[in-house]
């Protein structure tokens, strides 16, 4: 009866399932059917017992996943993700003081930078180790204005007036840009889970919105102003950019190669931004 059952199992294995067999010992046979492993022990030419175990597919699955991840990494760099940082405004000599328009001496603790980098593609040059990375993203730059100043502008100038009516909890100039990067990217390993990365390049951007925001938290006089306007901001930007990190976490710094404001109305001012990046 046991011999009949064995023959029936073998027929099923050869006709309906993928299988493999090997000899564990001289008196045993290993038969794989689907996710089941059957160990058949022989004794004096007859079947003594049959043991059934689950097939171990964990290592193969992990290997396949790693292979697919490394393969896909050829298409993706370390641009896609989010950046969080601070911005400081520098003059043409690299200092942070301005003679004509002192309101440009922004408060870095209230000058935040956030970018959302939605699309990326890497063109491999040397495998996964060297490539050209580009993509598409957006960023929001907030400049904290000191001393409770109100910004005003016209076709000829940008100036500030001290507001004596309120003490503002938020007093910022916000600009929004759409960006296209171009980086030369280096990676220390062909495995993305073990690689350090370094990127150097430029980020070109076009301003798609800007506004001056003021907020006062006062129970008697609640004020929340949002005034749209160009505020003498340049319509385009070009930043030199460096990025370095390990796996999904890194550091970045951007320095503007062209003035942030229209130099016919505002003296030269160059944003320097730095912070943390998270790569997905």
Structure tokens at 74: 């050829």
Query: Does 84 share its domain with 53?
Result: no
Domain count for the chain, please give it: 2
Query: Does 92 share its domain with 127?
Result: yes
Q: 172 near 106, Cβ under 8 Å?
A: no
**Alpha-carbon span 275 to 26, nearest angstrom:** 65
Query: Does 49 share its domain with 158?
Result: no
| Residue 64 within any structural domain of the chain | no
How confident is the model at residue 37, as a pLDDT? 72
Domain around 240: 76-279
Residue 241 has pLDDT above 70, yes or no: yes
Query: Does 30 share its domain with 153?
Result: no
Query: Does 48 share its domain with 108?
Result: no
Query: Does 122 share its domain with 83?
Result: yes
Q: What is the pLDDT of residues 202-233, one digit of tens each?
A: 999 999 999 999 988 766 667 788 999 999 99
Residue 12 has pLDDT above 60, yes or no: no
Look up the pTM and report it.
Answer: 0.73
Q: What is the pLDDT of residues 119-154, one digit of tens each?
A: 999 999 998 899 999 999 999 999 999 988 989 999
* Beta bridge pairs of residue 227: 212
Confidence of residue 246 (pLDDT cuts 50, 70, 90): very high
Where is 77: in which H helix or E strand? none
Q: 55 near 38, Cβ under 8 Å?
A: no
**Alpha-carbon span 276 to 235, nearest angstrom:** 26
Of 256 and 29, more confident: 256
Where is 9: in which H helix or E strand? helix 2-16
With 0-12 / 13-18 / 19 or more C-beta atoms within 10 angstroms meaning exposed / middle / buried, residue 131 is: buried
Query: Does 139 share its domain with 39?
Result: no
Residue with tokens 């730095």: 274
């Amino acid at each position: 009866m046991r011999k009949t059952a064995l023959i029936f199992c073998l027929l099923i294995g050869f006709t309906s399932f993928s299988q493999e067999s090997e000899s564990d010992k001289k008196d045993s046979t290993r038969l794989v059917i689907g996710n089941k492993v059957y160990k058949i022990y022989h004794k004096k030419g007859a079947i003594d017992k049959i043991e059934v175990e689950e097939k171990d597919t964990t290592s193969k699955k992990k290997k396949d996943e790693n292979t697919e991840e490394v393969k896909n990494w050829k298409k993706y760099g370390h641009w896609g993700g989010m950046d969080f940082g601070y911005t400081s405004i520098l003059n043409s000599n690299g200092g942070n003081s301005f003679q004509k328009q002192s309101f440009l001496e922004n408060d870095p603790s209230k000058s935040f930078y956030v970018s959302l980098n939605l699309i990326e593609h890497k063109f491999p040059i040397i495998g996964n180790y060297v490539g050209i990375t580009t993509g598409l993203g957006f960023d929001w730059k907030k400049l904290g204005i000191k001393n409770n100043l109100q910004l005003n502008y016209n076709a000829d100038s940008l100036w500030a007036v001290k507001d004596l009516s309120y003490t503002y909890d938020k007093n910022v100039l916000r600009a929004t840009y759409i960006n296209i990067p171009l980086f030369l990217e280096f990676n220390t390993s062909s495995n993305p889970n073990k690689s350090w990365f370094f990127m150097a390049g430029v980020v070109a951007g076009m301003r798609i919105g800007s506004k001056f925001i003021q907020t006062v938290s006062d129970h008697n006089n609640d004020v929340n102003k949002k005034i749209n306007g160009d505020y003498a901001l340049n319509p385009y930007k070009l930043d030199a950019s460096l990025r370095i990190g390990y796996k999904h976490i890194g550091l970045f710094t951007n320095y503007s190669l062209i003035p942030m404001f229209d130099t016919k109305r505002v003296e030269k001012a160059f944003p320097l931004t730095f912070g943390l990046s998270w790569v997905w």
